[in-house]
């Protein structure tokens, strides 16, 4: 933060307003095992219920239930044919880290467990205690002929992935076959019917902009940088032919000459 303050104090003032745990990886909690923060889950759900949002609540919930049911079945089929200790996404990230680890040189420190290494590489040296397989840990693991997959957290393994889809959604008959309750049916609240159609677009925050609206542009969008104009009439830079003062003066002179000729002929 001190370096940021030296480079740009305005940026430092903006970042200093927010908790470090919400925007910098160095302050993130160690409980989550993913290094990205996003709202993809919400976006997927919004896309799925986009057409069902205008339907009654029971119908909406039924469509969500069917979607979840099909998704669980689809992932169970994938899991049945997958081979390996890690899911494909995690395995690809680990393979990339292992490839980068070849540029680092691990040096054993002499501990009895043969697990402490000082990993040398450009531009600095790193001290590694074998744990989560970062690029430095992968270099140390290769030195002792151990597989990085065996040192991944259990939450990133296929066993955890299978546990996610171990359950299933209970099946339901059609609504007219549901058991009738003896209690009074809940009445929907009285609402004023809107004349316009139901809005299906996501409500954006103030800093997201209006998605292409000409009246207001999203914050942080840079203006289009244009090169200096060159006038095709006088060949001077800084203006166009339409606003050229020489062309305007020539036009006035031509109009005055034409008016003088008309008077003389009369």
Give the chain's length. Answer: 266
Q: Is the pTM of this model over 0.75?
A: no
CB 19 within 8 A of CB 12: no
Long-range contacts, 47-50 (Cβ 8 Å, 24+): 50/200
pLDDT tens for the chain, 266 residues long, are 888 888 988 888 888 888 887 777 677 777 766 656 667 777 877 888 888 888 888 888 888 888 889 989 998 888 888 888 888 888 888 888 888 888 888 887 887 777 777 777 766 555 554 566 788 788 888 888 888 888 888 888 889 888 988 888 888 888 788 888 888 877 777 877 777 776 667 677 666 655 555 455 555 555 666 777 888 888 888 888 888 888 888 888 888 887 777 777 76
**Residue whose structure tokens are 């001190």:** 2
DSSP state for residue 125 in the 8-state scheme: E
DSSP letters of 67-119? HHHHHHHHHHHHHHH--SSS-HHHHHHHHHHHHHGGG-EEEE---TTS-EEEE
Helix axes 135-143, 88-100, angle to 10 degrees: 70
Residue 33 CB contacts under 8 Å (≥ 6 apart), including other chains: 153, 155, 156
CA distance 16 to 1: 8
């Amino acid at each position: 933060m001190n370096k940021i303050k030296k480079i740009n104090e305005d940026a430092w003032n903006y970042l200093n307003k927010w908790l470090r745990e919400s925007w910098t990886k160095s302050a993130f909690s160690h409980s989550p095992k993913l290094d990205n923060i996003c709202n993809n889950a919400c976006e997927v759900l919004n896309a799925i219920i986009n057409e069902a949002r205008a339907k009654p609540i029971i119908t909406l919930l039924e469509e969500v239930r069917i979607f979840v049911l099909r998704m669980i079945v689809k992932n169970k089929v994938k899991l049945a044919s997958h081979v390996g200790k890690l899911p494909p996404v995690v395995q690809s990230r680990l393979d990339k880290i292992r490839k980068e680890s070849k540029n680092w040189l691990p040096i054993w420190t002499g501990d009895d467990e043969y697990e402490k290494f000082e990993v040398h590489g450009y531009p600095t040296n790193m001290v590694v205690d074998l744990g989560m397989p970062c690029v430095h840990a992968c270099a140390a693991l290769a030195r002792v002929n151990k597989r990085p997959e065996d040192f991944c957290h259990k939450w990133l393994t296929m066993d955890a992935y299978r546990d996610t889809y171990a359950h299933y959604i209970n099946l339901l008959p059609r609504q007219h076959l549901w058991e009738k309750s003896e209690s009074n049916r809940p009445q929907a609240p009285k609402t004023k019917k809107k004349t316009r159609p139901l809005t299906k677009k996501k409500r954006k925050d103030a800093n997201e902009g209006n998605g292409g609206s000409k009246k207001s542009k999203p914050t942080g969008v840079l203006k289009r940088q244009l090169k200096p104009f060159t006038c095709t009439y006088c060949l001077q830079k800084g203006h166009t032919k339409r606003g050229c003062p020489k062309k305007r003066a020539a036009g006035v002179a031509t109009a005055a000459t034409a008016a003088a000729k008309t008077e003389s002929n009369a």
